[in-house]
A and B are shown apart, each in its own frame.
Chain A
Amino acid sequence: MRKKQIVAMLLAGGQGSRLGILTSNMAKPAVPFGGKYRIIDFPLSNCVNSDIDTVGVLTQYQPLELNSYIGNGQHWDLDRNSGGVFVLPPFVKGKSGQWYSGTANAIFQNQMFVDQYEPKYVLILSGDHIYKMDYARMLRYHIDQQAGATIAVLQVPMDEAHRFGIMNTDAQGRIYSFEEKPKQPKSNLASMGVYIFDWPMLKRYMQADAEDPSSENDFGHDIIPAMLREGEKLCAYAFDGYWKDVGTIRSLWEANMDLLESPPLLDLYDPKWRIYSRNPIRPPHYISPSASVENCLITEGSEVYGNVEHSILFSGVYVGPGAVVKDSIVMPGARIQAGAKIYKSIIDERAEIGANTIVGDELREGVTVDNSLTGDITLVGYDMEIPDHASLPRGMVATRETLGYLYKKKGGETK
């Protein structure tokens, strides 16, 4: 196998439970984003655009969607003779074998994969952030600093710093301590979950970590603190572009809406830094004479007969005459029938909203909604069929369970 200077390992195993029903049948990195992308397109495209051509994608939760999405990697130019993209699920070794118990453990279990390429460095990425970043520049910094590990950091507002892993650095950017979600943050440099390690060094620490039964086998929790204790040189690499964690319904919605700002907060138009994805094979979209469309992103295969404002429509979406879609995200193949109103909602793939139904309706008296995950955003689940003239209150999560009463009613009428 030809040697590689660097191999990227993308942690895509997270369940993404805070995304609720959006991840009920797919891993978080496979969640659709921005009209035609999925979250994983961003780190994958960053790799390719940074000339990193060998990427391992570590999956374990609901891998089917992600597996079939990545395929042989041709959509990201990662179908290579040497290297390319590989999906790495947990596997059985002899009589043993186990699930990935933590981020570091996932890499530890796939040492053989990385070792094939005998890289000097390994880049660790996670599959739940939206950003454009040149990892090659970070690698140059890592080499120039002669660091054992380099961690990409982002300045966050001080009053939000307690939500992140915070790096405390000296004037030269060397990290002297790391605190996970500190109550009293000493700095506002938050870890972006992007690490470069010297591979031989990382292997030593992972081995020691694996032998420690009390360890959680996590980079932030165990490996980085251990390296700091041993006095390794850890450097912070400052990144100042757009970066957004899309691990919650709220942040996913916000990150989508950021694309509608003028100019968009994340520039997707840079021809030198394309975000690649598996493109739908669909004709261009159609806007009818009765439609009104303002401040939105619409992609191929959609047909718009109604009013769409400040929203994102994925491919193959139908918006019927007189329908209103406002402040919403409508995922691939969803159908909004005539006269339906969608306010501040996320409509998952293939859902169908019946005619004159209101999604994200005012909360009526006496109605209670479990909105612990959603806040004021309404969520309609995958392949759901919402009957005509229904009302889904704001913050509701519409699934077969929560909507059982509507289905019964509809069934009763037809009989």
Chain B
Amino acid sequence: MISNAFGIIYTGGDSMRLKDLAYSRSTAAVPFGGRYRCIDFIMSSMVNSGFTNVGIIAQKNYHSLMDHLGSGKEWDLNRKRDGLFMLPPFVTRDNVGLYRGTVEALKNVSGYVRRSSQRYAFVAGSYTIFNTTFNDMLEQHIKSGAEITIMCNDDGSTERPEDQYEDLRVKVDDNGRVTDMEYNPYHPTSTLRSCNVFLMEKTLLEFLVEEAVAHGKYDLSLDVLMPNVKKLRIYSYLYRGFVARLNSPNSFFASNMALLDHNVREDLFNEEHPIYTKVKDEVPARYGRGARPRNSIVADGCIIEGEVEDSILFRGVQVAKGAKVKNCILMQGTQIQENAELNYAVLDKSVIVQQGRQLSGHETFPLLIRKASMV
């Protein structure tokens, strides 16, 4: 367990790329995997590593995020010593509350960083999904004598992702030391991609942030890491588990559907380090007579009387008799009424699809229905 590190999670990034999924919430609060929000994964990874001090930098649309995190009780972060710190923008004459990048946000929460007593800081984003503990990464950081360690995964592809977003690629020498970086490259030359977790000593973080701000810079990757590849000892830590990046409705869809694979579930929901989330005290899922569920993930509170296939059902979803749901992601509290048919659709919270309606998207273009719509 790590006792000398704290975590800072930046939730302020651009959320427009997730379109309607992030219409009324920050990316960190986008629902994932039947009962979770994106941020649960990084939060749980930190808590399961032994962190007792986690700061959340909020910027826009953070109501839903605050509602989700509450006092941090579900993550065991409601503590007297340290715990969960919500860090919304503190608007002053110098600070209009809109961060152009992580560095600006970190500058704004410098008081929190200064008061944190732990030696190491883990700075992380909130839309990359994985479940790990950071013990090995910290150990490697110390052993290698690195000043900054970037958690990366290797997806074996140098193809430019269609929904490229904050795509930081690193090239390393034989010792894992970063020799070059590319940001959103048109022709990527490395398969090592940053998982958006950066580890460094707190004092270095404070110094780099002050330096960058003094020069009118604001982005962590572009302004702090890239110019310093030669000067600082930056290392890559290779993470071999499952990683999902929620950069677009398509990757959101594909990453959720990946959970239908047993191995992905084993990796992401490791019993030794569980993923915590807000508890809703829902009733166990109920299957009626005539229910036909196949290859699906179903959360508590669902009532299923129709057909459900290759789908992810969040808490409290109702699928009535005669309804057919295939290749869908149905978020909390959606209702599919009798004889409605859905294929390749993503329904946000509380959407109602009335009797006999038919909705169909395509694998390459899942249909997004905005929160609380009535179809």
> Nearest chain A CB to B269's CB is how many angstroms away?
4
The 8 Å CB contact of B281, one of A277, A282, A297, is: A277
Are B285's CB and A297's CB within 8 A? yes
A283-B275, A284-B34, A284-B313 given; A34·B284 CB < 8 A:
yes
List B67-84 residues whose CB lies under 8 Å from chain A.
Answer: 73
Are A268's CB and B283's CB within 8 A? yes
Are A284's CB and B287's CB within 8 A? no
Any B CB within 8 A of the CB of A298 = yes
Complex Cα–Cα for A289 and B326 (A) = 13
The 8 Å CB contact of A286, one of B279, B289, B297, is: B297
List B16-41 residues whose CB lies under 8 Å from chain A.
Answer: 33-35
Any A CB within 8 A of the CB of B298 = yes
Most chain B CB within 10 A, of A274, A281, A291, is at A281
Interface size of A by CB at 8 A reads 35
Are A36's CB and B284's CB within 8 A? yes
Any A CB within 8 A of the CB of B227 = no
A262-B289, A295-B288, A297-B285 given; A283·B300 CB < 8 A:
no
List B278-310 residues whose CB lies under 8 Å from chain A.
Answer: 279, 281, 283-300
Complex Cα–Cα for A298 and B313 (A) = 13
A36-B300, A283-B275, A284-B313 given; A298·B33 CB < 8 A:
no
Any B CB within 8 A of the CB of A300 = yes
Are A294's CB and B284's CB within 8 A? no
The 8 Å CB contact of B294, one of A291, A294, A295, is: A291
> Nearest chain B CB to A113's CB is how many angstroms away?
27
The 8 Å CB contact of A299, one of B279, B295, B297, B300, is: B300
Are A283's CB and B269's CB within 8 A? yes
**Chain A positions 67 through 94: 1 when the CB is less than 8 Å from some CB of chain B, otherwise 0:** 0000000110000000000000000000
Are A299's CB and B285's CB within 8 A? yes
Complex Cα–Cα for A294 and B299 (A) = 16
Are B283's CB and A269's CB within 8 A? yes
> Nearest chain B CB to A221's CB is how many angstroms away?
37
Residues from chain A with Cβ under 8 Å of B289 in the complex = 262, 294-295
Are A262's CB and B288's CB within 8 A? yes
Complex Cα–Cα for A36 and B279 (A) = 13
Closest residue of A by beta carbon distance from B290:
A294
Residues from chain B with Cβ under 8 Å of A295 in the complex = 287-289, 291
Closest residue of B by beta carbon distance from A297:
B284
> Nearest chain A CB to B26's CB is how many angstroms away?
23
Residues from chain A with Cβ under 8 Å of B296 in the complex = 286-287
Are A300's CB and B287's CB within 8 A? no
**Chain B positions 252 through 292: 1 when the CB is less than 8 Å from some CB of chain A, otherwise 0:** 00000001101001001100001110010101111111111
Count class of interface residues, chain B: 35 or more
Residues from chain B with Cβ under 8 Å of A298 in the complex = 284-285, 287, 298
Most chain B CB within 10 A, of A35, A296, A298, is at A298
Complex Cα–Cα for A142 and B284 (A) = 36
A279-B281, A295-B288 given; A287·B33 CB < 8 A:
no
Residues from chain B with Cβ under 8 Å of A282 in the complex = 269, 274
Complex Cα–Cα for A233 and B35 (A) = 52
Complex Cα–Cα for A297 and B282 (A) = 12
The 8 Å CB contact of B274, one of A281, A291, A293, is: A281
Are A283's CB and B35's CB within 8 A? yes
Any B CB within 8 A of the CB of A276 = yes
Residues from chain A with Cβ under 8 Å of B300 in the complex = 36, 284, 299-300
**Chain A positions 263 through 293: 1 when the CB is less than 8 Å from some CB of chain B, otherwise 0:** 0100011000011110101111111110111
Residues from chain B with Cβ under 8 Å of A291 in the complex = 293-294
Residues from chain A with Cβ under 8 Å of B286 in the complex = 264, 296-297
A269-B283, A295-B289 given; A283·B294 CB < 8 A:
no
Residues from chain A with Cβ under 8 Å of B276 in the complex = 281
Complex Cα–Cα for A288 and B314 (A) = 17
Residues from chain A with Cβ under 8 Å of B293 in the complex = 287, 291, 293
Residues from chain B with Cβ under 8 Å of A276 in the complex = 281
Complex Cα–Cα for A360 and B262 (A) = 31
Are B265's CB and A286's CB within 8 A? yes
Complex Cα–Cα for A283 and B275 (A) = 8
Residues from chain B with Cβ under 8 Å of A283 in the complex = 33-35, 259, 265, 268-269, 275, 297
Complex Cα–Cα for A253 and B276 (A) = 32
> Nearest chain B CB to A309's CB is how many angstroms away?
9
> Nearest chain B CB to A412's CB is how many angstroms away?
34
> Nearest chain A CB to B130's CB is how many angstroms away?
14
Closest residue of B by beta carbon distance from A45:
B281
List A296-350 residues whose CB lies under 8 Å from chain B.
Answer: 296-300, 312-313
Most chain A CB within 10 A, of B265, B275, B293, is at B293
Complex Cα–Cα for A275 and B285 (A) = 15
> Nearest chain A CB to B324's CB is how many angstroms away?
16
Are A284's CB and B33's CB within 8 A? yes
Complex Cα–Cα for A184 and B279 (A) = 50
> Nearest chain A CB to B319's CB is how many angstroms away?
13
Are A296's CB and B287's CB within 8 A? yes
Closest residue of B by beta carbon distance from A281:
B274
Are B269's CB and A293's CB within 8 A? no
Complex Cα–Cα for A309 and B32 (A) = 29
> Nearest chain B CB to A266's CB is how many angstroms away?
10
Complex Cα–Cα for A262 and B283 (A) = 15
Are B34's CB and A299's CB within 8 A? no
Complex Cα–Cα for A262 and B35 (A) = 26
What are 17 A-B pairs with beta-carbon distances under 8 A? A282-B269, A283-B33, A284-B298, A284-B313, A285-B298, A286-B262, A286-B265, A287-B295, A293-B287, A294-B289, A295-B289, A296-B286, A298-B284, A298-B287, A299-B285, A300-B35, A312-B284
| Other A-B pairs beyond A269-B283, A297-B283, A298-B298, 9, CB < 8 Å | A75-B279, A279-B281, A282-B269, A283-B259, A284-B313, A285-B285, A286-B298, A287-B294, A289-B295
